[in-house]
Structure 1
Amino acid sequence: MNHWLVKSEPVKYSWEQFNKDGQTFWDGVRNYQARNNLKEMKKGDLVLFYHSNEGKHVVGVAKVVKEFYQDPTTSDPNWVVVDLAPVESLKNPVSLDQIKAEESLKDIALVRQGRLSVMPLKATEFDKILEMGS
């Protein structure tokens, strides 16, 4: 199993809305590195959901329920989506400042490549963030 982090501005698509919807396709990715990460996601992979711009917190865990396919919001075949479903909310959202302060997380893409919207995490990094949020 692989582990990931996806970012969404809460005013555009929040964790609360995701939970109401129960499942969504992850669209709007227009960065090649983020797109390639979507293509690497496999059914069952776990995904941290991060509120960007406002809040700047990891707020929940989702899972990949359908692997990549053509983004239905564009006719450009270069762009893809995956389907995600919520798994659980974190008891305590984990802030970007907390992540930056944690030595074992200093190399994650959220810190090194702040603008990347879909990024891989090592299992140890994923587990550390979950631990911080419990």
Structure 2
Amino acid sequence: MPHWLMKSEPDEFSIQDLKQKGSGRWDGVRNYQARNYLREMRVGDSFFFYHSSCAEPGIAGIGRIARTAYPDPSALDHGSPYFDSKASTDRNPWSAVDVDFVEVFAAPLKLARLKTEPALQQLALVKKGSRLSVMPVSEEEWAAILALR
């Protein structure tokens, strides 16, 4: 099974929110490469839930893909911060996936810590200038991150 890392700002949607709800829609991705990764996901794929744009960014837990990519309804919602005036019901370039809660970590694995791990030096997250909100994680990187918990 492929593995992924998906970023969310915790004040918008956090691992705790997903835990409380049990499942949810991962939407609002507005980068074509990240969108393409969403489209590669399959039901059952695991992902690290990463809290970004906060005091201490880091991996906060694990989720699982519950539904493969479908047109992102937030692109058509005028009240959404992810509204796209160029999108329509016939031509919506954006995708969403549904996710399930798996686990919340006792303490987030901070980005600063992840950057020091030799096994993670090829992970896009730790590379300078990488800002993708969705990215693949290799089997080796997945195992190395789990070992840090």
Common fold, TM-score beyond 0.5?
A: yes
Measured against aligned partners, the alpha-carbon deviations of 1:1-38 in whole angstroms (never above 9, x if no partner) come to: 10000001111111111111111111000000000000
Name stretches of at least 5 consecutive residues in structure 2 with no aligned partner: 77-86
| Deviation, structure 1 residue 72 | 1.1
- 1:82 is matched with 97
- 2:71 is matched with 70
SS at structure 2 position matched to 1:62: strand
Give aligned pairs, total: 133
The question of whether the paired residues in 2 share the 8 Å contact of 1:105 and 1:125 is answered with yes
The question of whether the paired residues in 2 share the 8 Å contact of 1:43 and 1:67 is answered with yes
The question of whether the paired residues in 1 share the 8 Å contact of 2:23 and 2:100 is answered with yes
- Aligned identity (percent) is 42
Q: Report the aligned-residue RMSD.
A: 1.1
Give the greater-gyration-radius structure (CA): 2
Cα distance in 2 for residues equivalent to 1:74 and 1:58: 27
The question of whether the paired residues in 2 share the 8 Å contact of 1:44 and 1:63 is answered with yes
- 1:92 is matched with 107
| Deviation, structure 1 residue 91 | 3.1
Name stretches of at least 5 consecutive residues in structure 1 with no aligned partner: none
- 2:10 is matched with 10
The question of whether the paired residues in 2 share the 8 Å contact of 1:57 and 1:95 is answered with yes
| Deviation, structure 1 residue 66 | 0.3
**If the length of structure 1 is used for normalisation, what is the TM-score?**
0.95
Moved over 4 A (4+): none
Is the counterpart of residue 127 in structure 1 residue 128 in structure 2? no
The question of whether the paired residues in 1 share the 8 Å contact of 2:16 and 2:104 is answered with no
